[in-house]
Structure 1
Amino acid sequence: MGVINITPDSFSDGGRFTEVEAAVREAKRQLQQGADVLDLGAQSTRPGAKEVGAEEECRRLLPVLGAIRQHRPEVLISVDTFLAPVAEAALEAGASWINDVSGGRRDPDLLRVVADAACPVVLMHSRGTSQTMDDLTVYDDLIQDVKAGLWERTNAAISAGVKEAQIIWDPGLGFAKTHEQNLSLLRDLEQLTSEAMPLLVGPSRKRFIGAVLDEPRPKARLWGTAAVACRCAQAGAALVRVHDVGPIAQTLRMASVLW
């Protein structure tokens, strides 16, 4: 899954793809380099990010989504949003599925939108909001609490009419987790990949990689991201969400052969 942030304030590439032409060029590049899915986001979810609201999110998102869909009608396009009006507008404009970092917590009506569309949905484990999540990192048992949280969101989605076969899990690396907790989740990833839902993991350029490598520059964390991608292949994850599609696609092809 290739990341295209249509935002001015995302943590590693904010402002690069806010113009439609630049975003379309990046989409074409990522697809040529091996992306199976493109993930478009018009609201930054980095720690401390301000929420812009559905109207602004749609204003940023829909022209890019429409242009990519026009150029590549066959491509799987995921939209990264936690707001039902954005999800609904995106699906009407040609999005293939919804990627909700809140797992339907922030706007429960999003689950109804997904159910009506009968499309795939990524339910991420998270706590709080971008403003509060760094203060919500206390767990009784990290892996069991994350698993329980994902099942709770799954049951909420099923109650809203979503089919279990539509659901993809994401453990939420960096969302209400410390650096060591992110590493612990990765070490125990089989406890999540052994469950019924396919697993998406989003490690790309994140702070915990920078902490391990003593690398403050997000764009310089490629090789740490590649190491995590190998671990995801070893554990049987279904998807890895990354910015650097070419190198990571090659890494995953090789790692998948080894494991």
Structure 2
Amino acid sequence: MTSVPTVPFHDGQSIPQLGYGVWRVEDDVAADVVAQAIRAGYHHIDTAAIYGNEEGVGRAVAAAGVPREELFITTKVWNSAHGYDEALAALEESLGKLGTDYVDLWLIHWAKPTQGRYVDTWKALIEAQRQGKVRSIGVSNFPAEQLEEIIEATGVVPVIHQVETHPYWQQRELREVEERHGILHESWSPLGQGGELLEDPEITAIAEAHGATPAQVVIAWHLAKGFVVIPKSVTSERIVSNLAAADVELTEDEVARIDALDREDGRIGPDPATIEF
């Protein structure tokens, strides 16, 4: 069975570097595919309140027969629950849906700078960790300015930052800020969107050299860069195939060739600094 490495957080906890994401997976489907993922060997499941599938994830975890302490579960607080009291209430709701007393990682889903409540929300995450309802705390989709602000305001550094990252959009400047604070980098939409990246001649050539799929090569690149990565698929074959990417070892030259694919216009999702939803 494929062995997935774990990487340490600065708070003493650690996270499986390759996980299973369930964005845009309906609740009933999540109950099935998360169970498949756990059987395939995934120990890290990434969900969020806004995904509407925490209950399905919880049912899969309960049915998996795997001790809770062997699984790593991430969820996120949504924009409508920003604020200290609101975020803590949202956590209770998430825990109830997941059917667990704690989550391993709780993230602020978006900084939402125009809303201006991310510092109070971050204080709620700190309190939740103090109460033992959350093992580790981090953020998602934070511009560098807001990331620096929550650290300065509280003295507490997120353990991880989850943000759009793939070979066409590599977040180099943001990663420099994270590295300065000892924050791990986590990639969402790691395979890009619409298949363009997976058809890139550089990716397909490397895949052919390894007898691997293009998706496995891209995931292997994330792992080689030290990123935590959470590819999503609802097909059994790809669930297994994505996990096997941990067995693909790229050469330094291959990593450099993929590094060279970075684009100034590579972003596919919204800009965290200006989102309005």
- Mind listing any 5+ residue stretches in structure 1 that lack a counterpart? 45-59, 127-148, 175-181, 215-221
Query: Counterpart of 1:77?
Result: 73
Aligned CA distance change for structure 1 residues 62 and 169 (closer, same or farther; 3 Å): closer
Q: What is the CA–CA distance in structure 2 between the aligned matches of 1:234 and 1:193, rounded to whole Å?
A: 17
2:168 maps to a residue whose letter is L
* Selected match of 1:183 from 168, 176, 180: 168
Cα pair distance change 1:236/1:227, threshold 3 Å: same
For structure 2, list consecutive stretches of 5 or more residues without a partner in the other structure.
1-18, 82-86, 201-211, 234-238, 256-277
Q: 1:43 aligns with which of 16, 30, 50?
A: 50
State the distance in 1 between where 2:30 and 2:168 align.
32
Q: CA RMSD in A?
A: 3.7
The question of 1:198 aligning with 2:205 is answered: no
d(CA) in 2 for partners of 1:114 and 1:206?
A: 30
Letter of the structure 1 residue corresponding to residue 128 of structure 2: A
Kindly report which structure 2 residues correspond to 1:1-259, keeping only aligned pairs within 5 A, or say none. Answer: 1-5=19-23, 10=24, 14=25, 17-19=26-28, 22-43=29-50, 60-71=52-63, 72=66, 73-74=68-69, 75-82=71-78, 83=81, 84=87, 85-91=89-95, 93-94=99-100, 95-103=103-111, 105=113, 107-108=117-118, 109-118=120-129, 119=134, 120-125=136-141, 149-150=143-144, 152-156=146-150, 159-160=153-154, 163-164=156-157, 166-173=158-165, 183-185=168-170, 191=176, 194-195=179-180, 196-207=182-193, 209-210=195-196, 213=199, 223-237=213-227, 239-244=228-233, 245-255=239-249
CA distance 1:186–1:35, shift in 2 (3 Å): farther
- Residue type at the aligned position of 1:63: E
Q: 1:116 to 1:42 in 2, by over 3 A?
A: closer
SS of 2:27's equivalent? coil
Cα separation, 2, equivalents of 1:256 and 1:77: 28
Q: How much identity, in percent, do the aligned residues show?
A: 10
Q: TM-score, normalised by structure 2?
A: 0.55
TM normalised by structure 1 equals 0.58
Distance 2:33 2:198 in 1: 29
In structure 2, distance between residues paired with 1:234 and 1:189 = 18
Question: Which of structures 1 and 2 has the bigger CA Rg?
Answer: 2
CA–CA distance in structure 2, aligned partners of residues 64 and 168 of structure 1: 25
